Structure 1
Amino acid sequence: MSEPDHSAALPGARRRHETAAAQYEEAARRAGVQVRELREIAEFEQVVELFDGIWTTEPGHAPTNVELMIAFSHSGNYVSGAFGDGGDLVGASIGFFAAPSGTALHSHVTGCARGRGIGYALKLHQRAWALSRGLGVITWTYDPLVRRNAYFNIAKLGARPRRYLPSFYGAMEDAINAGDESDRLLAVWRLGDPEAEAACAGAARPPAVPAGAVVALAEQDGRPVEGRVEGRVLLIGTPRDVETLRPRDPATAKAWRHAVRRVLGGLLGEGARVTGFTADGHYIVERP
């Protein structure tokens, strides 16, 4: 990576950054991309075009715009793009410094082509970038109903959801979210935690479900079925593919939204913690 190392005065932090940079390089090699910071208006225009193809937004509703990326890049925030072997932009990520000052980055939006490991390479680049600047935490929000994102964030990266945010963005008009309420989970990626370090080293394993776990929200014939919420360890199910479900069966998608809000949102509000996400689509939630 070409970014300056601001952690050179701290040997432990420098070693962590060097390891993170090497992990990014390996992930980028496997994905067949190179990730770099973006500086030019033409590059920002490519990001808008890429994101428009992903979210299929109406005019004026894109997740970002050229002016915002110029401002972020100029002020030292994170604006990066992933480029394939042919030089085409295949992914991008935008983040900004967050409170507490000097400790955290908030990853505002990341989008990429699916199925090639591009998203993983982008996030590992973002992690190395943050560590080189002395940051220890990256946060972002995601839809708790989207299984692949939940698995990626929790199992592949070692991040942990900390707060449930109902209708966080209000009404959204893009093709992916239209017609649904914009509930989000706030994911917190503590870059030096053992879960994150193992995940970024490629050593993450599917979580073992503790014995005696209670299924608090299950799927039956495609619909949510709420169960008991008593117990120390609870399993919260998710729909198989909510993005396909929304336009095909909006009533069932809405039922999932409200069930997950009640059960998962309620448990997090009471102080429970998400400790994992299973391969078959269940949040593992543990009470203190």
Structure 2
Amino acid sequence: MTISAAEAAARAGVVIRELSEIDEFRQVNRLFDDIWHPDPRNVPVPLELMIGFAHGGGYVAGAYDGGTLVGASVGFLAADRTLHSHVTGAAAGRGVGYALKLHQRDWCRERGLRRITWTFDPLVRRNARFNLVKLGARPEEYLEDFYGTMADAINEGDASDRLLAVWQVDEDDRPAADAPAGDRPPRALLACEDGRPVFHLAGGEVVLVGTPPDIEELRRTDPGTAAEWRAAVRTALGGLMGAGGEVVGFTDRGEYEVWVH
């Protein structure tokens, strides 16, 4: 059972509230600039869209430590009683992002929405672990080069492949589902060996797809190996999901557990 949104905010030392004033939206833009250092032509969300989303009934919220904005999330209403959480950024290491997600979940429940969706880079281990293990969201689609070229300090030089995460919010809290029990332990289709992606023959009901320990550092220090990882995970994870495979978990070793139907 997850803690409440209020408890999570208290633990993080923040107050979370919806935003409505132009100066608040400018604070969000400055926070996102500090996190991603984007090219001015490639900001995570333009000021005008934030204003439009907030005015049109979307979700624009900020987490404040005193008078300082330390986290923010921007989302818009989508089909099938869904909130698409377009971008969330927060100070690292203190639970602000988790508090924002729980606030977002309660916001959706109050409005009768069924689920929250967002995209994340399948190569970033900490995000995969947060989304799949801590929140219990599940990837439902592998999206190749979804945003095209992204000119910022975190993504530049890499294809923008993403997983579409789906978080059901209209049900009671429940732990992340375990992988189905098979006749033998899961085997790695793609493994991380000495920092590089290595394919293996793998069979059974559940197979594992590894990830690099730190893809962001790898992009800076060894872009060739980073590109190998992108291609390998696209082939392995994207191929499995495209054939009907279901991601059911994420291991402590940084591997996606994929149930092969």
Note closer, same or farther for the CA distance 1:183–1:235 as it changes in structure 2 (3 Å cut).
same
Task: List aligned pairs for 1:111-260, cutoff 5 A.
Answer: 111-193=89-171, 197-198=173-174, 211-260=184-233
The aligned residue for residue 11 of structure 2 is 30
- Normalized against structure 1, the TM-score is what? 0.86
The aligned residue for residue 41 of structure 1 is 22
Determine if contact 2:179/2:257 at 8 Å carries over to the other structure. Answer: no
Q: Does 1:94 align with 2:89?
A: no
SS of the residue corresponding to residue 9 of structure 2 reads helix
Determine if contact 1:96/1:108 at 8 Å carries over to the other structure. Answer: yes
> In the alignment, residue 29 of structure 2 is paired with which amino acid?
V
Percent of aligned pairs with the same residue?
Answer: 58
The aligned residue for residue 268 of structure 1 is 241
Residue 278 of structure 1: CA displacement? 1.1
Structure 1 outlier segments of 4+, above 3 Å = 207-211
Cα deviation code 1:259-285 (max 9, x no counterpart): 000000000001110001112201111
Cα deviation code 1:139-197 (max 9, x no counterpart): 00000000000000000000000100000000111010000000000001111456xx1
Residue 198 of structure 1: CA displacement? 3.2
C-alpha distance in 1 between matches for 2:17 and 2:108: 14
Residue 65 of structure 1: CA displacement? 1.9
Residue 247 of structure 1: CA displacement? 1.3
The aligned residue for residue 88 of structure 2 is 110
Kindly tell me the number of residue pairs found equivalent between the two proteins.
259
Residue 212 of structure 1: CA displacement? 1.8
Could you tell me which of 20, 29, 32 is aligned with 1:51?
A: 32
C-alpha distance in 1 between matches for 2:129 and 2:76: 24
Determine if contact 1:165/1:185 at 8 Å carries over to the other structure. Answer: yes
Cα deviation code 1:12-53 (max 9, x no counterpart): xxxxxxx99x71001111111111000000000000000000
The aligned residue for residue 82 of structure 1 is 63
C-alpha distance in 2 between matches for 1:216 and 1:68: 41
C-alpha distance in 1 between matches for 2:7 and 2:252: 24
Unaligned runs of at least 5 residues, structure 2 = none
Determine if contact 2:138/2:248 at 8 Å carries over to the other structure. Answer: yes
The aligned residue for residue 16 of structure 1 is none
The aligned residue for residue 252 of structure 2 is 279
C-alpha distance in 2 between matches for 1:43 and 1:270: 44
Cα deviation code 1:105-137 (max 9, x no counterpart): 100000000000000000000000000000011
SS of the residue corresponding to residue 30 of structure 1 reads helix
Residue 287 of structure 1: CA displacement? 1.6
Unaligned runs of at least 5 residues, structure 1 = 1-18
Determine if contact 1:209/1:284 at 8 Å carries over to the other structure. Answer: no
